[in-house]
Amino acid sequence: MPDYTNTSEPVIQVRSVIKSFGDQRVLDGIDLDVMPGEIMVVMGGSGCGKSTLLRHMIGSIVPDSGSVKLFGREITTLSEQEMNEIRKKFGILFQSGALINSLTVGENVALPLREHTHLDEKTIEIMIKIKLELVSLRIHADKMPAQLSGGMKKRAGLARAIALDPQILFYDEPSAGLDPVTSAQIDQLIIDLTRKLHVTSVVVTHEMDSAFSIADRMCMLDKGKVLKIGMRQEFETLRDTPAENLTSDQDKLIRQFLRGDADGPLSRRKADSDYEEDLLRV
Ligand SMILES: Nc1ncnc2c1ncn2[C@@H]1O[C@H](COP(=O)(O)OP(=O)(O)OP(=O)(O)O)[C@@H](O)[C@H]1O
Ligand SMILES: [Mg+2]
């Protein structure tokens, strides 16, 4: 468990980020610090802006206004070339694993090493073995992606994400589409890699079991705003408090989301807005 009491600077600092697509404001003034060595889980309902926030952190989207700093450096104003240099310092696990289907698992892991380093072939071979061993896929190095299960694809994607010894690992819905056991294995792998490799991890998910098992801290988004950031234990307490003991509507809403309850302020709000939309359509 990382120590937040020290005075270290955040690895990622998001300030007042606003982003609209057309006339839809997707991020509406986001502030978030991610500290060295922690696992920060960003959660929230479908369409609340989680992936969009992640894409701002990896420099693939530029905000309309606001600031995003990685390692203390503003990335929103960097050229593509400067951004590519920073990209070497982080790894990303996309939802599908995003492997190249025409290459073997080993070749997929080798790709970033061939592209971004001057290591000789023998060293690259050794690196591939080390990375695949970390995700328990060493004996599958010669398989093609089509021969892998969903969970194995995620692990292969993870081996590729750690190929360049990144300082930050980003995950978008790492356990989506996996059975509960495979999903729990990926969660454990995220924890192990974060601790073993001393990286900082940002995990976007709406799977609450997974969120609670891996998070050091959690950030809950709703309609493009941060509803709450806190230690995992604070969210656990909120989840386990009886609704009648909560006074703030916001806490009740967060509690419903954390518990996955069918009834509560979240569903009433959804029903109300559907009704309004329905009336406006007439
Ligand atoms: N490139 C884009 N162009 C237009 N609209 C976009 C774009 N990217 C995202 N959006 C919209 O922004 C909103 C938030 O999308 P985002 O993918 O960030 O949600 P999310 O929280 O990751 O949802 P999910 O849990 O379903 O993955 C959605 O309404 C989506 O349609
Ligand atoms: Mg998403």
- Ligand 2 center from residue 219 Cα (angstroms): 15
Judged by its nearest atom, the ligand closest to the C-alpha of residue 24 is 1
CA distance 260 to 76: 36
Q: How confident is the model at residue 263 (pLDDT cuts 50, 70, 90)?
A: confident
| 8 A C-beta contact, residue 104 and residue 144 | yes
CA distance 62 to 75: 9
Backbone angles phi, psi at 110, to 5 degrees: -70, -25
Q: For the segment 16-47, what is each residue's pLDDT rounded down to a tens digit?
A: 999 999 999 999 999 999 999 999 999 998 89
The residue to which tokens 């069918």 are assigned: 262
| 8 A C-beta contact, residue 63 and residue 29 | no
Nearest alpha carbon, ligand 1 atom 7? 21
Q: Which domains does the chain have, with CATH numbers?
A: 7-89+203-240 (3.40.50.300), 243-282 (no CATH)
* C-beta contacts of 257-262 below 8 A and 24+ residues apart: 257/43, 257/44, 257/45, 257/208, 257/220, 258/208, 259/208, 260/208
CA distance 197 to 159: 12
User: Which helix (H) or strand (E) is 56 found in, with range?
Assistant: helix 50-57
Query: Taking the model in full, what pTM does it have?
Result: 0.90
| Residue whose CB lies within 8 A of the most ligand 1 atoms, among 21, 94, 225, for a mutation test | 21
Q: For the segment 269-282, what is each residue's pLDDT rounded down to a tens digit?
A: 766 666 666 666 66
Cβ-proximal residues to 127 (8 Å cutoff; 6+ apart), any chain: 109, 110, 113, 119, 163
Q: How confident is the model at residue 98 (pLDDT cuts 50, 70, 90)?
A: confident
Q: For the segment 196-239, what is each residue's pLDDT rounded down to a tens digit?
A: 889 999 999 988 999 999 999 999 999 999 999 999 999 999 99
